[in-house]
Copies of this chain bind each other. A is one copy, B any other.
Amino acid sequence: MGEKNRRWVLTRRPEGNHYSDAVELVDGETPELIDGDVLIRNTYFSLDAGTRMWMGPREDSYSPPTPLGSPIISTVLGSVVTSRHPDFRNGDLVRAYGQWADFSVSRPDEVYVERVSRQLDDPRQHLGVFGANGWTAYLGVLEYGAAQPGETLVVSAASGVTGALAGQIAKQHGCRVVGITGSPEKCDWLTEELGFDAAIDRGAEDFEQTLRNTCPDGIDVYFDNVGGAILDSVLGNMALFGRVAVCGLLVHYDQDEPIPGPTRFDQILMKRLTMRGFFSPDFYHRGPDLNRRMRPWYEQGKLRMTFDVTAGLENTLDAYSKLFTGAKIGKSLVRVGEPDS
């Protein structure tokens, strides 16, 4: 009696950035709901680097990895088609923890499910500026990074959604903003389209010298998505009392074993740095307030976001692996249903 529902299921722990042996598209039907469930027809779901950690095999990630045989969890945008929860009605547009699937089954009393407006000019922005990436960018710049007007802020993975938003928010706050990204074309996008003061290709020869020349007074705030060699170069160029806001450590995610930390770790002491890790589920409850604060910038065209949309659930894995190769700009989504749901 259910509708056809294909789901991506974790069957093995993946190795590195290869998923086809580890995640399988399984045919099935939507289940019978129980009290407290909502059934969501997915329109989009978000592709997030952090999901890689939940696939395992590392046990010392945010929490133990997803059990084998489980569907892959992700933030989805979609319409409630059946509700057995008193706070949700059929037809509600929701942003929720759901599944890489045609439909998501979610329990609002146990996981994040929030009704969102149908009035937004681009509904994808519920998974862009006005979702977890936007909140991470806002708090990373203003609270965890404690950026002050006039300071120099450097952001890595700057052409990814969180990095691009962090840089634009820092600009609105009066910072000098330098992005680190993966190609000359992406550098152009950052400076010409998004208004960054400077952008550096991480693959350029003498990257560290360029970074030093671009930040002659040192780096006051580093918004880090990546870790690894870039973090080391930045640590060698921090200003006294600088802050490092760590929202991601991409280079660690697909490693089976812990890898060495930054060689210039001792600069935390020499420069009296503050380094903080943060993670969006800790502040989802602040989302409505943060969205109110970002809304004016968005309406003035100061918070722009490009979407990299992959059409078709069946194409998810190829799109996913591109998160780790730098082969995209902006927010990566998979479109499952009709775009105007």
- Taking Cβ atoms with an 8 Å cutoff, the residues of A that contact B are 60-62, 227, 236, 246-249, 252, 258-279, 282
Q: Is the CB of A262 within 8 A of B261?
A: yes
- Distance, CA A269 to CA B275, complexed state (A): 10
Q: How far is the CB of A199 from chain B (nearest CB, A)?
A: 24
- Distance, CA A262 to CA B266, complexed state (A): 10
Q: Is the CB of A266 within 8 A of B252?
A: yes
Chain B residues within 8 Å of A274, by CB? 274-277
29 contacts between A and B (CB under 8 A): A60-B236, A60-B266, A61-B270, A227-B266, A246-B268, A246-B269, A249-B266, A249-B269, A258-B263, A259-B263, A260-B260, A260-B261, A261-B261, A261-B263, A261-B264, A261-B265, A262-B265, A267-B277, A269-B277, A270-B277, A271-B277, A272-B277, A272-B278, A272-B279, A272-B282, A273-B276, A273-B277, A274-B275, A275-B276
Interface of chain A, helix or strand or loop or mixed?
loop
- Distance, CA A265 to CA B269, complexed state (A): 15
Chain B residues within 8 Å of A246, by CB? 268-269
- Distance, CA A276 to CA B244, complexed state (A): 10
By beta carbon, the residue of chain B nearest A259 is B263
How many protomers of this protein does the assembly include? Answer: 2
Which of A62, A246, A270 has the most C-beta atoms of chain B within 10 angstroms of its own C-beta?
Answer: A270
Which of A62, A264, A275 has the most C-beta atoms of chain B within 10 angstroms of its own C-beta?
Answer: A275
Q: Is the CB of A269 within 8 A of B248?
A: yes
Chain B residues within 8 Å of A268, by CB? 246, 275-277
Q: Is the CB of A270 within 8 A of B60?
A: yes
- Distance, CA A231 to CA B88, complexed state (A): 48
Chain B residues within 8 Å of A249, by CB? 265-266, 269
Q: How far is the CB of A304 from chain B (nearest CB, A)?
A: 27
- Distance, CA A82 to CA B267, complexed state (A): 40
Q: How far is the CB of A194 from chain B (nearest CB, A)?
A: 25
Chain B residues within 8 Å of A282, by CB? 272
- Distance, CA A279 to CA B272, complexed state (A): 7
A272-B277, A272-B282 in contact; A258/B264 too (CB < 8 A)? yes
By beta carbon, the residue of chain B nearest A278 is B272
